[in-house]
Structure 1
Amino acid sequence: MEWRSVFTLSVPLLEVFVRGTVTYLVLLILLRLVGRREAGGLGVTDVLLVVLVAQAAAAGLQGEAETVADGLLLVVTILFWSVAVDAVAYRFPCMAALLKARPRVLIENGRLNRKAMLREFMTAEEVLSQMRLHGIEDIAMVERAWIEPNGMISVIRRDRAAGDPVEPPRGL
């Protein structure tokens, strides 16, 4: 085996960078359109990063790419864009609305927000199931409930006294 061929690029540097950039940004947009509920307990960018890095690294390890350097450069490109998107969202709050998901109100003053439920493709039964996980049987007991950017549901009960600590649901 010739070691030099393992670590040299078989594809032009710019091509690998452009492929990684286009893949990351297109998948980021698609995952933002799908909604938060599909991501589970992770944020959309977390899921995207894990999937892309694993795929990029696997190509280099399995020999699908010509060299290890091709796979490593793709991983570096994906990590670069992950950090860049987070930095832009932090530095420019107006861009954060486009790049990062925000909490969406599912229940307000004991009433289901059908528009938010439609956006997240959630049925009333699914929302009620989430309320039961919080120990709430009647949504009239809910002052406000949000679907968070990571797909979790947070709830403020009407009967909670001011200053009471908010406890997360058990078993999650």
Structure 2
Amino acid sequence: METFHYLIGENGAHISWWQMGIRAAIIFIYAVFIYRIAPRRSFARLSAFDVVLSVIMGSGLSRALTGNAPLLPTLVATALLIALHSVLAALAPRFEFLSYIIKGRPVRLISNGVVDWEAAEKSRLGERDLTEQLRLKGLRGPAEVEVAYIERNGAISVVKAQDK
């Protein structure tokens, strides 16, 4: 164990550049491994639930990299965070209340060409934001929309109105 502490440095003590380099290599390999075994949704969709995991992981691993947090307990804590995230993500589709708490719910913004400005305001969307999103989807304005939602991940989904 003495050799290990020599190579990665003592926790809370000043560590040299080469000890930080070894820590960086260990953390990099570990993070790639965690990314590979974690369910794909953990890092792909970036809902608030996923962003929180990423921020906490990055913060903890960066502290371990610089020697401000112990390396091995930080790696264990990171694995536990991934496990907790995976369990909650697996349970959320089965329990509506848990899904609502963790992932939120979609909000209807447009219905039959009429914008619900109260819902847009609650979602922190102004008229320019909404029209920009519609233009990016090839629409001229709300009149061309059957229904539009701001989804749980913050994206705006649109169903185009059928030509009559």
How does the TM-score come out when normalised to structure 1?
0.65
Q: Which has the larger radius of gyration?
A: 2
Letter in 1 for 2:67: G
Deviation at 1:108, TM superposition (A): 0.8
Deviation at 1:158, TM superposition (A): 0.9
List runs of 5+ in structure 2 lacking aligned partners.
Answer: 13-44
Deviation at 1:106, TM superposition (A): 1.0
Corresponding residue for 2:58?
A: 54
Letter in 2 for 1:60: A
Query: After TM superposition, what 4+ stretches of structure 1 lie above 6 angstroms from structure 2?
Result: 7-10
Aligned residues: 130
Deviation at 1:143, TM superposition (A): 0.6
Query: In 1, Cα distance between the equivalents of 2:147 and 2:133?
Result: 13
Deviation at 1:160, TM superposition (A): 6.0
Q: Is the 8 A contact 1:107 1:146 kept in 2?
A: yes
- Structure 1 residue corresponding to 2:107, chosen from 104, 107, 110: 104
Q: Is the 8 A contact 2:109 2:147 kept in 1?
A: yes
- Structure 1 residue corresponding to 2:151, chosen from 148, 162, 167: 148
Letter in 2 for 1:44: A
- CA deviations on 1:15-59 (whole Å, 9 max, x unpaired) are xxxxxxxxxxxxxxxxxxxxxxxxxx6211221121111111111
Q: Is the 8 A contact 1:7 1:69 kept in 2?
A: no
Taking only aligned residues, the RMSD between alpha carbons, in angstroms, comes to 2.7
Letter in 1 for 2:47: G
* Partner SS for 2:50: helix
- CA deviations on 1:123-147 (whole Å, 9 max, x unpaired) are 1111011001111112111110111
Query: In 2, Cα distance between the equivalents of 1:160 and 1:75?
Result: 52
Q: Cα 1:68–1:7, aligned 2, differ >3 Å: closer, same or farther? A: farther
Please state if 1:71 is matched with 2:42: no
Higher RCO (CA < 8 A, seq sep 6+) = 1
List runs of 5+ in structure 1 lacking aligned partners.
Answer: 11-40, 162-172
Deviation at 1:87, TM superposition (A): 2.4
Deviation at 1:80, TM superposition (A): 2.4
Query: In 1, Cα distance between the equivalents of 2:140 and 2:91?
Result: 41
Q: Cα 1:50–1:160, aligned 2, differ >3 Å: closer, same or farther? A: farther
Q: Is the 8 A contact 2:47 2:103 kept in 1?
A: no
- Structure 2 residue corresponding to 1:43, chosen from 42, 47, 50: 47
Q: Is the 8 A contact 1:106 1:113 kept in 2?
A: yes
Please state if 1:120 is matched with 2:123: yes
Corresponding residue for 1:166?
A: none
Letter in 1 for 2:65: L
Q: Is the 8 A contact 1:9 1:70 kept in 2?
A: no
